[in-house]
Structures are given as structure tokens and as C-alpha cells.
Amino acid sequence: MKFTNQSKAGLLFALPWLIGFSVFLLYPLLRAFYNSFTEYTVLTPAVWIGTENYHALMKDKVFWQSLGNTFYYAIFAVPLSTIVAIGLALLLNTKVKGQAFYRTFFFLPALVPAVPMAILWLWLFNGEKGIVNYGIQVLNDHNWLFQVPKPNWLGDKTVAKNVLVIMSTWTVGHAMVIYLAGLQQVPLALYEAADLDGASPIRKTFKITLPMLSPVIMFNVIMSIITSFQIFTQPYIMFPGGAPERSTYFYSMYIYDAAFRDNNMGYASAMGWIMFLIIFILTFFARKYMDKKVHYEAN
């Protein structure tokens, strides 16, 4: 292959990224793959043990439990946060007074770092003094429709995971901005044509806006699947050790514990690769399925 001056310049500009990618991503990725076939405690040389780590994982109850918890979270958090993000974007796209203010306002939560946010939610959902249960109490005191139960959000193993699902809607800011940008791309001519035909706003949303937005939706859903499967910071801070009874013990937490609590890098690497495959497969099918549905603006 002959390098033209132009491709040389291109390579040169891409070089910082290429170096970063190779050193911080490609090498660790390949090394982790090798490590997953070894017993490796960092300070002693890795010992090749074949597929033993993978066999052990298949028999590991905590592995399956953490995987189940992670799937539960993703199954509920991905659609919920997608709907909330699109909904907000649609609302913020309407021409109202103070539009710029609202856009900033709804994006703000996405700027709060994960740790203080987790601690804040910890207090909101506190079973004894939390504002969430206080709100429910106020409703109940006014005999509003029916008595709403006040769950022990953080202590009850059947509800704790849902706290995190609810929290996932709090950080939809980034996705929302991308949807908003997508909405601006929808050609006005389509709406004008629909208006002439007398289409209702709801019909316009479902027949024009969402189809035109579908490439953006696909991108966001895939990103959302990837981040959901990697959920770590919030549960790690809010539910130490996955309490209660490991109901909030997620896959990444187990990887972290295996690597840095148990110094079992081989096991952790094997788990990392399984997660990689899961996300890869899910993304692959998401693309395959959605590609058929996605409407790209025709050339």
C-alpha cells in the first residue's frame, strides 16, 4: 500500500487516538482474554488453567444472580429511560415561552456526578425519613383515591432494584439532547403536508416524528443497552455488597469484587469477556431488528 501525503496526514492526526486505543483498550482487551484462561493474582505469574474459570462461572450461583439482576435492570431501565427521554424531547421541542430555560433545566441532572446523586437518592428513598414515602403519606392522609403502600425502598429485596430503574430516568439528559437535535432535522414540509391533510398532532407524532427520529432512537437504545449492562456506581454506593440479600448485586460489581477484593483477575477477566459477548450479541440483534424498522432519510 502506498501512502499519499493526505493519508499520512490523516494517520498523523488519528495517531493520538490510535495510541490511546491500543494502549488503554486493545491491549487490555486482549490481555484480559488471555487472563481469563489463567489463575492470576497479579503478584504471582499467571498460571494457564484452560477453561476452568468459565466452567466455575457456570456453576457459580452468585454469577447467575448478578446476571439476572443486571438483565432485570436493563429490561426495565432501557425502555423506561428511552420513553422518558423521547417524551421530554417532544415537549421541549414545542414552541413555548422560556424554551431555552426548560431545555437547560431538564438537562441539568445529567451534569450531577454519580456519587453525590446516589447519596441524594439514598435519602429520597429512605424508608423512614425519605421524601418519597413522605409524599405517599401525604396522599394517603388526604384519602386520595386509594391507600398507596409505603415500601421500604432500600431494605426490601423485592423493591430495591426498582429504585435504580426509577433513578435511570433521572440521567436521560444526554439522550434527550440527542433526540432534540434529531427532532430539528425533521423536514417541516412533512408537517405542512400533514396539516393540509388534516392530521391530528398525535397522528403526526406517530406517523412523521417518530419514524423520522428512528435512526436517533436506534443509536440511543443501543447506547442505553450498553450502559445499562455496565451499571456500577449507583448500586455500589447505595447498596454495599448488593444488600439486601444480593438483590442489587449487579454484574459489574461482581467483576469488581472478583478482581479487587478477591484478587482473582482470571475469574474477573472471564466475567468481563462474557459481558462483552452478551453486549455484543444484544447490540447485533438490536441493529439487525431495528435496521428494518429504521427510516433513514432517503437521498
Partner 1 sequence: MNWARFASVIPIAAIIWAVFAGEAVVKKTPRTDGRIVVTYWEKWGDFEADAMRAVVDDFNKSQDRIFVDFQSVTNIGQKAMLATSGGIPPDVAGLFGPNVAQYAYNNAVIPLDEFAQEAGIKREDYITQYYDICTYRGKLWALPSCPASTALHYNRKMLADAGWDPDNPPKTIEELTRLDEMVFKKDGDTIKKMGFLPTDPGWWPWAWSGVFGGKLWDGESKITMTTPENIEAFTWMGSFAKRYGSATVQSFQQGFGTFKSPQNAFMDNKTATVLQGVWMANFIEKFNPDLDWGAVAFPYPEDHPELANSTIIDLDILVIPRGAKHPKEAFEFIKYVQTQAAMEKLCTGQKKQSPLAHVSESFIKNHPNPFVELFQDLASSPTAYSTPKTPIWPQWADEIKSATEVINGKKEAEENQGSVRAALQAVQDRMQPKLDNVIRRERALGIYREKGSVAN
Residues that bind partner 1 in the complex, under the rule CB under 8 A: 39, 41-44, 61-62, 126-129, 152, 154-157, 241-246, 257, 260-263
Nearest residue (CB) to partner 1, 87 versus 155: 155
Nearest residue (CB) to partner 1, 79 versus 240: 240
How many Å apart are CA 236 and CA 7, to the nearest integer? 45
Q: Is residue 236 within 8 Å of 256, Cβ to Cβ?
A: yes
Q: Is residue 68 within 8 Å of 156, Cβ to Cβ?
A: no
Alpha helices in 94-209 (DSSP H): 99-107, 114-124, 131-141, 160-168, 173-185, 188-197, 201-204
How many Å apart are CA 275 and CA 21, to the nearest integer? 20
CA-wise closest residue to 222 among 214, 210, 212: 214
Q: How far is the CB of 235 from partner 1 (least distance, A)?
A: 15
Nearest residue (CB) to partner 1, 39 versus 102: 39
Q: Is residue 262 within 8 Å of 35, Cβ to Cβ?
A: no
Phi, psi of 135 (to 5 degrees): -60, -45
Nearest residue (CB) to partner 1, 205 versus 263: 263
Q: How far is the CB of 129 from partner 1 (least distance, A)?
A: 6
Nearest residue (CB) to partner 1, 60 versus 223: 60
Nearest residue (CB) to partner 1, 79 versus 116: 116
How many Å apart are CA 46 and CA 59, to the nearest integer? 23
Q: How far is the CB of 115 from partner 1 (least distance, A)?
A: 14
Nearest residue (CB) to partner 1, 126 versus 233: 126
Q: How far is the CB of 19 from partner 1 (least distance, A)?
A: 12
Q: How far is the CB of 141 from partner 1 (least distance, A)?
A: 13
Nearest residue (CB) to partner 1, 172 versus 259: 259
Q: How far is the CB of 155 from partner 1 (least distance, A)?
A: 4
Q: How far is the CB of 154 from partner 1 (least distance, A)?
A: 6
Q: In the chain, where do the E strands start and end?
A: 38-39, 47-48
Q: Is residue 66 within 8 Å of 253, Cβ to Cβ?
A: yes
> Given the C-alpha cell 384519602, which residue does it identify?
143
How many Å apart are CA 34 and CA 38, to the nearest integer? 7
Q: How far is the CB of 206 from partner 1 (least distance, A)?
A: 44
- CA angle 251–288–182, rounded 5-degree value: 90
